[in-house]
Structure 1
Amino acid sequence: MKKIDIVIPCYNESKCVELIYDALKELFSNELKTYDFGILFVDDGSQDDTLEHIVKLTNIENSNVRYISFARNFGKESAIYAGLENADGDYVALMDADLQHPPHLLIEMIHAIEDEGYDCATARRVKREKESRLRNFLSNSFYHVINWATGMRLAPGMTDYRLMKKQVADAIVSMREHERFIKGIYSWIGFSSKWVEYENVERADGDSKWNYKGLWNYAKTGIIAFAVTPLKAVIYFGFFVIGISFIYAIRLFIMAKMGIRLWQDTTTIILLLLFLGGVIILLLGVIGEYLARIYMEVKNRPIYIAKEKKLEIDNKKEK
Structure 2
Amino acid sequence: MNSCKLSVVVPCFNEQEAVPIFYNEVKKILVTLKAEYEIIFIDDGSSDKTLEEVKELSEKDKGVHYVSFSRNFGKEAAMYAGLKKAAGDYVVIMDVDLQDPPSLIPEMLSAVCSGEFDSAATRRTNRKGEPPVRSMFARLFYKLMRYFSDIDIVDGARDFRMMSRTMVDAVLSVSERGRFSKGIFAWVGFRTKYFEYKNVERSAGKTKWNFRKLFLYSLDGIVAFSTKPLVLASITGILFLFLSFLFIIFIIVRKVLFGDPTAGWPSLVCIILFVSGIQLFCTGILGQYLAKVYLETKQRPLYIAKDEK
TM-score (norm 2): 0.96
Equivalent residue of 2:125, what SS? strand
Q: Summarize deviations over 1:125-183 as a string: whole Å, max 9, x none.
A: 11221112211111101000111000322112110001110111111111111111111
1:248 aligns with 2:217: no
Q: Summarize deviations over 1:203-238 as a string: whole Å, max 9, x none.
A: 111111111111011111111111111111111011
Distance in 2 between residues matched to 1:174 and 1:98, nearest whole Å = 29
CA contact (8 A) 2:29 2:105 kept: no
Equivalent residue of 1:176, what SS? coil
CA contact (8 A) 2:171 2:185 kept: yes
1:94-109 pair list within 5 angstroms? 94-109=93-108
Distance in 1 between residues matched to 2:158 and 2:7, nearest whole Å = 18
Uncovered stretches (5+) of structure 2, i.e. residues with no partner: none
CA contact (8 A) 1:5 1:93 kept: yes
By how many angstroms is 1:260 displaced?
Answer: 3.0
CA contact (8 A) 1:252 1:262 kept: no
CA contact (8 A) 2:98 2:203 kept: yes
1:230-245 pair list within 5 angstroms? 230-245=229-244
The AA in structure 2 aligned to 1:18 is P
For residue 24 of structure 2, what is the aligned residue in structure 1?
A: 22
Distance in 1 between residues matched to 2:300 and 2:276, nearest whole Å = 36
CA contact (8 A) 1:17 1:53 kept: yes
Distance in 2 between residues matched to 1:130 and 1:268, nearest whole Å = 46
Distance in 2 between residues matched to 1:203 and 1:101, nearest whole Å = 9
Distance in 2 between residues matched to 1:275 and 1:29, nearest whole Å = 63
Distance in 2 between residues matched to 1:118 and 1:292, nearest whole Å = 37
Distance in 2 between residues matched to 1:119 and 1:140, nearest whole Å = 27
Equivalent residue of 1:163, what SS? strand
1:304 aligns with 2:306: no
Aligned length: 307
Residue from 6, 15, 39 that aligns with 2:8: 6
Distance in 1 between residues matched to 2:252 and 2:15, nearest whole Å = 70
Q: Summarize deviations over 1:217-274 as a string: whole Å, max 9, x none.
A: 1111111111111111111011101111112222233334435324421111111111
Distance in 1 between residues matched to 2:285 and 2:152, nearest whole Å = 24
Equivalent residue of 2:116, what SS? coil
Distance in 2 between residues matched to 1:246 and 1:222, nearest whole Å = 37
Distance in 2 between residues matched to 1:57 and 1:269, nearest whole Å = 68
Q: Summarize deviations over 1:50-82 as a string: whole Å, max 9, x none.
A: 11111111111x521111000000000000000
The AA in structure 2 aligned to 1:19 is I
For residue 286 of structure 2, what is the aligned residue in structure 1?
A: 287
1:125 aligns with 2:127: no
1:252-291 pair list within 5 angstroms? 252-258=251-257, 260-291=259-290
The structure 1 segments of at least 4 consecutive aligned residues displaced by more than 6 Å after TM superposition are none
Equivalent residue of 2:176, what SS? coil
By how many angstroms is 1:114 displaced?
Answer: 2.5
By how many angstroms is 1:111 displaced?
Answer: 2.1
Equivalent residue of 1:222, what SS? helix
Distance in 2 between residues matched to 1:286 and 1:64, nearest whole Å = 46
Distance in 2 between residues matched to 1:17 and 1:50, nearest whole Å = 7
By how many angstroms is 1:103 displaced?
Answer: 0.8
Distance in 2 between residues matched to 1:151 and 1:246, nearest whole Å = 34
The AA in structure 1 aligned to 2:182 is K
TM-score (norm 1): 0.93
Q: Which deviates more from structure 2 when the two are superposed, residues 116-125 or residues 80-89?
A: 116-125
Distance in 1 between residues matched to 2:257 and 2:28, nearest whole Å = 88
For residue 51 of structure 1, what is the aligned residue in structure 2?
A: 51
By how many angstroms is 1:116 displaced?
Answer: 6.5
Q: Summarize deviations over 1:34-65 as a string: whole Å, max 9, x none.
A: x11111111000000111111111111x5211
